Amino acid sequence: MSTEANMDLRDSYEEKYGFHEPDSFVFKSRKGLDRTIVEEISRMKGEPAWMLEYRLKALEIFEKKPMPNWGGDVGAIDFQDIYYYVKPSNEEAKSWEDVPADMKRTFDRLGIPEAEQKFLSGVGAQYDSEVVYHKIKESLEKQGVIFLSCDQGLKDHPELFKQYFGTVIPSGDNKFSALNSAVWSGGSFIYVPKGVKVDVPLQAYFRINTKDMGQFERTLIIVDEGAYVHYVEGCTAPTYSSDSLHSAVVEIIIKKGGRCRYTTIQNWSNNVYNLVTKRAVAYQDATMEWVDGNLGSKLTMKYPAIYMMEPGAHGEVLSIAFAGKGQHQDAGAKAVHMAPNTTSKIISKSISKDGGRAGYRGLVKVVKGAENCRSTVNCDALILDEHSRSDTYPYMEIEEDKVSIGHEATVSKIGDEQIFYLTSRGIPEEEAAAMIVSGFIEPVVKELPMEYAVEMNRLIQLQMEGSVG
């Protein structure tokens, strides 16, 4: 997170996030993907046999599955021109002092240790393929809360891990979930015991440093009965002329009466393909909330999903997608009502400018017998100039009659009259446009903790720089 002091609005992405440290890995696989690479990753991690087997099966699925022919253009990804595993250090540190200097310098610049001190319960910091720092407040640890890197979770809690891993998103779900399942590394493993409420957020930060790198973190969150957790993830990468790939899988299980909020501020550099599968299952009276901010990347395809498995479950997706020059944000949501008396709410705000393309692709599904479900979908698009594009693909599969489904969509252009009104008060045009955009996304931003709301507005302003005149 950035603070007033280290954030000058005039700085570009390049200076603030787009920098990189010289390579200083302890191990880097050769480029490309095959059985040997997968075996190598698993061996280096010292994994149990079942995980290696799982990975190899996933690799087979990945190789068989065709590339998706919808959404964004993924045709240019060369899977043999990517480093699949870059191990930055020999161990996860519990103190920033023990993090290698170059990596610590990076996270300092990104304001992570400072944010940890000020407003977080725990932090995981991933650098390329591995988590280099991980820590949770002692008070939470004493209450039985587990917050580890996913690799450490597998080592320390093998039973719990195996019970849930891959149960929400099977390897075969899609080509990129198969890829992640084959080469996953890093990410978070969280367990919140019955009735425990983690009110102050846990945060993971994902940083790519190496060129031509693929980052494949894996996250598994289990919220037990009546428990609560707010997990926040942020991510950035250096600006390189060649493309990087980020393909994560996030699985969440929320038991009876539990609640999970998962907030993402995705700010990848514009050379990153961001192809992520995120899904939660919510049981009786449980609540899942995805708050999803997509500002960066070359192409993002991400549709956070909630499967409402038992009566009383509730799901929300609040999403912002901002596409500038050369960017395509194919973002959205899925709400699947598997049981009666379940409710969902989707709010999507997409903004496109300078030829960017942003849109909403969503699915609301109600299975036969899931009576008295309610779902509302609102998707609003704001197009800042005539070169830019917005798409809305709201799919509905309603197999039950006794339901209430609402859908509203608006598309608007930033109005000359709005700009004139604000500038007539002395506000410079560029700032006026940024204020209109900030207002447009306010219904989502107000759901963020204060520090992240500030961060989000700053990122929007950054995106808006140079957009006028």
Partner 1 sequence: MSQTPELVVKNLHVSVEGKEILKGLSLEIAKGEIHAIMGPNGSGKSTFANTLMGHPKYEVTSGEILFRGESILEMETDARARAGLFMAFQYPVAIPGLTFASFLRAAINARIAPAAGEDGKMPTKKGIAPKEFRKQMLEQMALLKMDEKFATRYLNDGFSGGEKKRAEILQMAMLKPTIAIMDETDSGLDIDALRIVSEGVNALAGPEMGVLVITHYNRILNYIKPDKVHVMVDGRIVTSGGPEMALELEAKGYDWVREEVAQ
Q: Residue numbers of the site for partner 1 (CB under 8 A)? A: 8-10, 415-418, 420-432, 434-436, 438-443, 461, 465, 468-469
Where do we find the tokens 């709010």? 347
- CB 157: neighbour CB atoms within 10 A? 15
Instruction: Pick between residue 249 and residue 436 the one whose CB is nearest to partner 1.
Output: 436
Nearer to partner 1, 143 or 418 (CB): 418
| Between 273 and 452, CB nearer to partner 1 | 452
Rounded least distance, CB 388 to partner 1, Å:
20
Q: Using CA atoms, how far apart are residues 411 and 392, in angstroms rounded to an integer?
A: 9
Nearer to partner 1, 4 or 97 (CB): 4
- Smaller CB separation from partner 1, 326 or 466: 466
The residue among 50 and 420 lying less far from partner 1, judged by its C-beta, is 420
Based on C-alpha coordinates, what's the Rg of the chain? Answer: 21
Work out the angle at residue 399's Cα, subtended by the Cα atoms of residues 393 and 404, and round it to the nearest 5 degrees.
Answer: 75
Helical packing angle, 416-423 and 429-445, nearest 10°:
110
Question: What is the CA angle 329-221-246, rounded to 5?
Answer: 35
**What Å distances lie between residue 10 and 5, 107, 294, 419, CA to CA?**
13, 21, 21, 21
Contact 288, 282 (CB under 8 A): yes
The DSSP symbol for 56 reads H
At residue 154's C-alpha, the angle toward residues 149 and 159, to 5°, is 135
Residue 388 one-letter amino acid: S
For the bound state, the minimum distance from the C-beta of residue 404 to partner 1, rounded and expressed in Å, comes to: 25
Residue with tokens 């945060």, as numbered in its chain = 203
40 vs 430, beta carbon nearer partner 1: 430
Judge residue 233's burial from the number of C-beta atoms within 10 Å of its C-beta, 0-12 exposed, 13-18 middle, 19 or more buried: buried
Q: How far is the CB of 336 from partner 1 (least distance, A)?
A: 30
Q: Which is nearer to partner 1, 232 or 433 (CB)?
A: 433
- Cα separation of 448 and 416, whole Å? 30
DSSP 8-class letter at 268: -
Least CB distance to partner 1 at residue 435 (A): 6
**Cα(196)–Cα(226) distance, integer angstroms:** 7
Nearer to partner 1, 44 or 427 (CB): 427
Q: How far is the CB of 364 from partner 1 (least distance, A)?
A: 25
> Residue 1 CB, nearest distance to partner 1 (Å)?
19
CB of residue 139 vs partner 1: minimum separation in angstroms? Answer: 33
- Least distance in Å: CB of 20 to partner 1? 27
- Smallest distance, Å, CB 405 to partner 1? 25
Q: Which residues contact 420 (CB under 8 A, 6 or more apart)?
A: none
DSSP line for 164-222: HTTSSS-GGGSHHHHHHHHH----EEEEE-TT-EEEEEEEEEEE--STTBEE--EEEEE
Q: Kindly state the smallest distance separating residue 181's Cβ from partner 1, in Å.
A: 40
CB 411, CB 348: distance < 8 Å: no
* 199 or 417: CB nearest partner 1: 417
Report the alpha-carbon distance of residue 280 to residue 289 in Å, rounded.
Answer: 9
